[in-house]
């Protein structure tokens, strides 16, 4: 299976920060509450959000009173995160760094989160880095929103997305990307839990959602064709001016195995 970390994912998101911040789906309240409870997060703990992008997940945990350090290698995405004010809770602190080399001290995190990001990392080096920066028995958490194509509208949207040449490869890789945490000798009591999620989008929101993906075509002719296909999809499936995309939000969670190296 291809190693997506070798595709220069940092540069792959150049120019997408504004679309990403505005149009990516959030995460369901039940999933967030599950992570907070299982990891024992509170105002007295520290969550490190690795590959935090524009800070979507960082702000959601900050709103629950959890101090968050967001680590992001793409400067444009990180600047977007810094410019977005958290509605409530302590403002996340953002810093440059990679999943494989966060620059954080040993044992400095109660939990390490990778939301919609782990498939871009070099798996073993990233898991070793998570293990290094976690407190004893701290949690590693991997989260993805994946389309639920048992829903006909979402399946039709997926068919449009997969007209982009790189989409099928990325989605196949991403669908299995959480499995290494379940079998890693560095972590124990690992499990996958799935939550329902959805996103209602008007026409411009749909275009923004689709073009925020790293695999969305950027060459003018291909981008124009993709745009037209998306508009046709919207015209067919919209109701009251919106389409609803349904997701399954997967949460992979494991605890640091002490004594492992």
Q: What is the pLDDT of residue 134?
A: 98
Residue 245 confidence (pLDDT) above 70: yes
d(CA 162, CA 158): 6
Q: Are 57 and 90 in contact (CB under 8 A)?
A: no
Q: pLDDT-derived band of residue 173, with 50, 70 and 90 as boundaries?
A: low
Q: Are 73 and 50 in contact (CB under 8 A)?
A: no
d(CA 171, CA 217): 15
SS3 state of residue 187:
strand
Question: Between vectors from CA 214 to CA 228 and to CA 223, what angle results, nearest 5°?
Answer: 25
Q: What's the whole-model pTM score? A: 0.92
Residue 192 lies in a domain: yes
Residue 207 lies in a domain: no
Q: pLDDT-derived band of residue 175, with 50, 70 and 90 as boundaries?
A: low
More confident residue, 27 or 15: 27
Residue 89 lies in a domain: yes
Q: What is the pLDDT of residue 171?
A: 74
pLDDT digits (tens, 9 = 90+) for 43-70: 999 999 999 999 999 999 999 999 999 9
Neighbours of 95 (CB within 10 A): 14
Tally the domains of the chain: 1
Report which DSSP code applies to 253: E
Neighbours of 173 (CB within 10 A): 15
CATH of the domain at 63: 3.40.50.150
Work out the mean pLDDT of the chain and round it to a whole number: 92
Smallest CA-to-CA distance from 71 within 46, 92, 50 is with 50
Residue 34 confidence (pLDDT) above 60: yes
Q: Which domain holds residue 133?
A: 4-146+169-197+248-256
Residue 66 lies in a domain: yes
Compute the half-sphere exposure of residue 210: CA atoms within 13 Å on the CB side of its CA.
Answer: 31
Q: What is the pLDDT of residue 136?
A: 95
């Amino acid at each position: 299976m291809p190693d997506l970390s070798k595709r220069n994912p940092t540069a792959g998101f150049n120019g997408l920060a504004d679309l990403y911040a505005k149009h990516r789906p959030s995460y369901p309240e039940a999933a967030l509450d599950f992570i907070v409870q299982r990891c024992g997060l509170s105002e007295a703990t520290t969550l490190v959000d690795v590959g935090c992008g524009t800070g979507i997940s960082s702000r959601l945990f900050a709103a629950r009173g959890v101090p968050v350090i967001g680590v992001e290698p793409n400067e444009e995405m990180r600047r977007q995160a810094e410019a977005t004010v958290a509605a409530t809770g302590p403002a996340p602190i953002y810093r440059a760094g990679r999943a494989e080399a966060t620059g954080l001290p040993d044992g400095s995190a109660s939990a390490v989160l990778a939301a919609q990001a782990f498939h871009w990392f070099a798996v073993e080096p990233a898991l070793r880095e998570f293990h290094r920066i976690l407190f004893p028995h701290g949690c590693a958490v991997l989260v993805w929103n994946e389309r639920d194509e048992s829903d006909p509208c979402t399946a039709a949207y997926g068919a449009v997305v997969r007209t982009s040449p790189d989409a099928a490869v990325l989605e196949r890789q991403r669908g299995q990307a959480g499995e290494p945490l379940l079998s890693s000798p560095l972590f124990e009591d690992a499990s996958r839990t799935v939550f329902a999620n959805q996103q209602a989008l008007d026409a411009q929101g749909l275009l923004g959602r689709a073009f925020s993906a790293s695999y969305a075509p950027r060459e003018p002719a291909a981008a124009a064709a993709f745009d037209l296909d998306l508009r046709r999809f919207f015209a067919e499936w919209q109701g009251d001016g919106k389409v609803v995309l349904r997701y399954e939000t997967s949460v992979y969670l494991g605890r640091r195995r002490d004594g492992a190296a």
